[in-house]
Amino acid sequence: MIAVENVSKTYSGQTALAPTTLALAPGRTTVLIGPSGCGKSTLLRLLIGLISPDSGTVTVGGEILTPQTVEKRRHEIGYVIQDGGLFPHLTAAQNVALLARFLGRSESGVQERITELSSLVQLPADALSRYPNNLSGGQRQRVGLMRALMLDPPLLLLDEPLGALDPITRSELQSQLKDIFARLEKTVVLVTHDMGEAAYFGDTIVLMRAGKIVQTGTLEDLLQRPAEKYVTDFIRAQRSPLPPMPEAASEERN
Ligand code: ADP
């Protein structure tokens, strides 16, 4: 349902994305991973039509994205960025409802959907009337996710959605997000630079370097059948060994 073919992008003569071809499996989660500056966000922005490719095509729902088709298609794509990307002068509920109201959806339908989504993402009801500055980072991300899901798009793109969160909130949201993706059967593309997160979410992992895809496959493919040494080096570099945990106090006494 979404595919990129030979898509490339340069900025001031510098390659952000070399010609890239990728098909996204419907109803599954594809993770884009790689070091900072390797072109993950560029690829995501091309998928949603926020930027136009220098060459190649992005096809969404059988239709090539063009400046003419992008508006319509964008309603079929939910987009979540780091820290939610919410409008600070609108409450959480207003942020979530913005596009639906703009499109003239009925107020009762909007309210019903907000109630349904706040329950799905486990946002407390009192948070809906608050402004983004008065929400925690985790709550902002939940609101960002609600906004992305408001029109029930088949496709969900998330750009480092958990990057700004503390480890406890991050791990809690990780497991809730995974559950939500599975329940809603969305086609999901998630950008991260964290291999643990890629392994946790990715039905397919796309490892990138310097504007190119190095390998596309399952975690097992990357571990067992690395396309090149870089794959193994990247995975190994991310395994930060923790110091041994101290023995439990009771054990020490025994
Ligand atoms: P990632 O998401 O993997 O960190 P990006 O896709 O944001 O990487 O960036 C890829 C490359 O393109 C980087 O070298 C970045 O500096 C460059 N780039 C991205 N957006 C722009 C832009 N709007 N103007 C100029 N250069 C950009």
Pairing mode, strands 2-11 and 55-60: antiparallel
Q: Is 26 in the pocket of ligand 1 (CB under 6 A)?
A: no
- CATH code for the domain of 214: 3.40.50.300
Same domain, 98 and 64: no
Tokens at 28, concatenated: 């599954």
Tokens at 31, concatenated: 């993770």
Indicate the residue among 129, 152, 175 that finishes a domain.
Answer: 152
Residue 65 alpha carbon to ligand 1 centre in Å? 21
Q: How far apart are CA 37 and CA 208, in angstroms?
A: 10
What is the block-wise mean pLDDT of the chain (254 residues), using blocks of 10 residues?
93 95 93 94 93 93 86 86 90 95 93 93 93 94 93 92 84 89 91 91 96 95 94 85 60 48
Residue 166 alpha carbon to ligand 1 centre in Å? 25
Ligand 1 atom showing the smallest separation from residue 42 Cα: 6
Q: Is 42 in the pocket of ligand 1 (CB under 6 A)?
A: yes
Taking CA atoms only, the protein residue closest to ligand 1 atom 18 is 16
Please check whether residue 231 lies inside any domain of the structure. Answer: no
Same domain, 133 and 13: no
pLDDT at site 252: 47
Q: Is 45 in the pocket of ligand 1 (CB under 6 A)?
A: no
Mutation test residue for ligand 1: of 7, 12, 33, 41, the one with most atoms within 8 Å of CB: 41
Ligand 1 atom showing the smallest separation from residue 44 Cα: 6
Same domain, 33 and 70: yes
Question: pTM of the entire structure?
Answer: 0.90
Q: Is 39 in the pocket of ligand 1 (CB under 6 A)?
A: yes
Taking CA atoms only, the protein residue closest to ligand 1 atom 5 is 39
Q: Contact, 32 vs 43, CB < 8 A?
A: yes
Q: How many independent structural domains does the chain possess?
A: 2
Taking CA atoms only, the protein residue closest to ligand 1 atom 24 is 11
Q: In which domain, by residue range, is 18 found?
A: 1-76+154-224+237-245
Q: Contact, 128 vs 91, CB < 8 A?
A: yes
